[in-house]
Structure 1
Amino acid sequence: MHPDIDETVIEALVRDFYGKVRADDDLGPIFDSKIEDWEPHLRTMMDFWSSVTLMTGRFKGNPMMKHRLLRDVEPAHFDRWLSLFGESARNVASPGAAAVFIACAERIAGSFKLGMFGVPGLGPMAFPPGGPAQTN
């Protein structure tokens, strides 16, 4: 996606971002209540961002379903998440690479907000048990 994005930048972004999250008064308690051992989570997030930005395919999982199980998350938390993520992206990546990371994060946050909270008046997207249908 961008020549300045590599595994080193991804690791720096993930570590910087989650350091900010853990110190944040709003997001820190939410994450700390779900994550006991941070290093595996950070590695998973590195795999996720590697898959998103470098198309490595290392990430395996269903992040939407995991996030839909979180009952203490509100739409405004995604705005805070994006703000911190943008700060970290600009701190560790070149301007062009940061723009790629931020654009991806905005799409992801928008999808999660839609999947978790839905359209006002209509509610969240309904998934059958086990998650959204897989298409071939």
Structure 2
Amino acid sequence: MEHGEAEGPARRAAATAAIRARTGIDNPMIERLVRSFYDRIRADAVLGPIFAARITDWEPHLLTMMRFWSSVALLTGIYHGQPMPKHAVLPIDAAHFDRWLALFRQTAREVCPPAAADHFIEKAERIAESLELGVALTQGTLLRKGERFVREDPAPAA
């Protein structure tokens, strides 16, 4: 093994440990956040139908989201999916991302201690911005910095 090969995993482990120490985030907290958040999503009048039209077996989705948030929040690298293609085809725009973020912020603030909630919310805001840019681009709209994607012909919710 070359010198650089061992540095990557060691650096990742050190970064994960530092985030855990600073925020208190651990796997049980991620699970509480994910399950609570998606309970809200499923009950939401705006987002619930979009998810219900695509997800019938929720447990695999929740497990995937737990791996995703572990990778995003703790840099664990255990998620290996590609979220952009799945989101790019959805009938969503800025209003949906705003609702998603509002529910996420509310859930994070209720489920997590302040430092953890702040960390999760910062990541969620970046993710929403990136996904919104990708959805817009897929629909033929190139957003400038600060612009939001609004569908000219709103797609049906489901």
Partner residue of 2:76? 56
The code of the aligned residue for 2:141 comes to G
Q: Distance in 1 between matches of 2:61 and 2:100?
A: 16
Which residue is equivalent to 2:141? 123
Indicate the SS of the match to 2:53. helix
Q: TM-score, normalised by structure 2?
A: 0.73
Structure 1 alignment gaps of length 5 or more: 126-136
Counterpart of 1:111? 130
Percent identical pairs in the alignment equals 55
The counterpart of 1:25, out of the listed 41, 45, 70, is: 45
Q: Deviations over 1:45-97 (max 9, x none)?
A: 00000001111111111101110121x21221000000000011011100011
C-alpha distance in 2 between matches for 1:124 and 1:6: 37
Give, in whole Å, the separation in 1 of the partners of 2:73 and 2:81.
16
Q: Runs ≥4 in structure 1, deviation > 2 angstroms? A: none
Q: Taking structure 1 as the reference length, what is the TM-score of the superposition?
A: 0.85
Structure number, greater radius of gyration: 2
Structure 2, unmatched stretches of 5+, are 1-18, 144-158
2:67 aligned with 1:47, yes or no? yes
Q: How many residues align?
A: 121
1:37 aligns with 2:69: no
Q: Which amino acid aligns with 1:40?
A: P
